[in-house]
Structure 1
Amino acid sequence: MTPFLVEWGAPADRAALAVLAVHGRGQDPAFMQATAHRFATASARFFAPEAEDNTWYPLSFLEPVERNQPALDRSVQVLEASLARLAEAGFDGERVVLWGFSQGACLLSHLVLSAPRPLAGLVLFTGGYLGTAPPVPGGQALSGVPVVLRSIEDDPWVPRHRVDETAALLRQAGAQVDLRIDPGADHIITDEACATATELLNAAAARASG
């Protein structure tokens, strides 16, 4: 499987890092591209896959994992193939930031906790791990990985408790988690979330440039 990736940002041969941008349910790469304009960074090349019918899996992420199969496994395969594409373009794991919103953030949480790997960073806007039994990475599998995790207190789709639980699992795996949950009941990405993500991207770019 070789997914088509929408690309934008710094030219690949000059970018310090790559960002794999994963959209939410009912969205597409254009949403992530528009949101990326809220990031003040010039050192990243963005790559965005698109879910079939704009949905990575059919049911709520709170349902048992098996109820979202086989779509969930297919979507994980898309992410793995996308990361392989980035590696072929010269971006190894330590030069890759994973960024997702809503269903995309849930899918990335599932990927990272189920199959940890070296990363330059992780940005999760309003999401958490999938299923009823949390995946528990062995040891410090995400040691030192910076994570920005943002959500809204009364988000209609993603309950606060699942965001808190996901932050705890990431910390347990060694990640450095910056968690903030703002008041409200809207399914949105705040300006503060974008500003903090920008800080993570710029710091990751500086490390990659060495």
Structure 2
Amino acid sequence: MYTHNKQISIGGAAAANAKAALIMLHGRGASATDIMRLAGEFNAKDMAIYAPQATNNSWYPYSFLAPVEQNEPALSSALALVDEVVAQAITDGFSTDKIYFMGFSQGACLTLEYITRNAKQYGGAVAFTGGLIGEELKLNNYKGDFANTPVLITTGDPDPHVPLSRVEETVEILKSMNANVTLKVYKGRAHTISFDEIGLANQHVFI
């Protein structure tokens, strides 16, 4: 089993001039460089971009629906790395309400798990095909108040990796913690990010 080294790719606007920070989390088998290419599709030209790199290009080894113990220590290490990226953004001058998150697939699951364990008013979050992590969700892991943070969650139905039932369960938990959640389900969509989803992100989160 593995843990993650601190490797963070930085791009976008220089932090000193940026209006906000965007933390981008790549999917399984992908890289920080891959996910950063997406930034140009969003209303994010005035944002500093931070993209951590997973060891072995994977944030945790098994399905996000596996018992959490099977995905340790990688999962805890991944969450700690995201926390380090948030701390770096804060050090660079961004308050948490100016910090945005975006992830795809495994990165979407990690995004949702991190922000729900550390709920506060963020700039916003986009989870392209993901849900909260674990065979069973332990509600006592989730603490804080999102204070109306906009969160977009999109998914296909059916999706080969992410069941709609877990996405819906995730939405209800976030709503109970005062997130302003938009859910969009695409019938028969492949496991990818569509132009429509990017448009929704710009409409609901990167506005």
- When the two structures are superposed, what TM-score results if normalisation uses the length of structure 1? 0.90
- 2:120 corresponds, among 103, 117, 121, to 117
Q: Which runs of 5+ in 2 are unaligned?
A: none
Comparing 44-53 and 110-119, the one that deviates more: 110-119
Tell me the C-alpha RMSD between the 2 structures.
1.7
How far does the alpha carbon of each residue in 1:127-165 deviate from its partner, in whole angstroms, 9 at most, with x for none?
A: 000112224335x61121110111111111111111111
Secondary structure of the equivalent of 1:37? helix
Q: Counterpart of 1:28 in structure 2: which amino acid? A: S
Which structure 1 residue ranges, 4+ long, deviate > 3 Å from structure 2? Answer: none
Aligned counterparts of 1:74 and 1:59: Cα–Cα separation in 2: 15
Offset at residue 112 of structure 1 (A): 1.8
Q: Is the 8 A contact 1:114 1:135 kept in 2?
A: no
Whether 1:193 aligns to 2:197 is: yes
For residues 9-20 of structure 1, what are the structure 2 equivalents within 5 Å? 9-20=12-23
Q: Structure 1 residues 124-133 or 40-49, which shifts more?
A: 40-49
Tell me how many residue pairs correspond in the alignment: 202
Q: How does 1:96-135 map to 2 (within 5 A)?
A: 96-135=99-138
- Give, in angstroms, the shift of residue 117 of structure 1: 2.9
Q: For the residues of structure 1 that align with 2:84 and 2:25, how far apart are their CA atoms? A: 13
Cα shift at 1:34: 1.8
User: Partner residue of 2:6?
Assistant: 3
- Change in Cα spacing, 1:197 to 1:3, as seen in structure 2 (3 Å) is same
Q: Secondary structure at the match of 1:106?
A: helix
Corresponding residue of 1:208: none
Moved more, 74-83 or 34-43: 34-43
TM-score by length of 2: 0.91
**Contact 1:3 1:82 survives alignment (8 Å):** no
SS in 2 for 1:182: strand
CA distance in 2, matches of 1:50, 1:86: 16
Q: 1:43 aligns with which of 41, 46, 51?
A: 46
How far off is 1:185 after superposition?
Answer: 4.3
Confirm or deny: 8 A CA contact 1:148 1:178 kept in the other structure.
yes
Of 50, 55, 61 in structure 2, the residue corresponding to residue 52 of structure 1 is 55
Aligned-pair identity (%): 32
The 5 Å alignment of 1:1-210 reads 3-136=6-139, 137-138=142-143, 141-203=145-207
Contact in 2 for aligned 1:41/1:201 (Cα 8 Å): no
Q: Determine if contact 2:147/2:178 at 8 Å carries over to the other structure.
A: yes
1:24–1:105: 8 Å Cα contact kept in structure 2?
yes
For residues 82 and 18 of structure 1, do their structure 2 counterparts lie closer, same or farther at Cα, with a shift above 3 Å needed?
same
Does structure 2 retain, via aligned residues, the 8 Å contact 1:20–1:48?
Answer: yes
- Mapped contact 2:152–2:205 kept (Cα < 8 A): no
Letter in 2 for 1:159: P
Letter in 1 for 2:57: N
What per-residue deviation string (whole Å, max 9, x for no partner) do you get for residues 75-99 of structure 1? 1111111111111111121110011
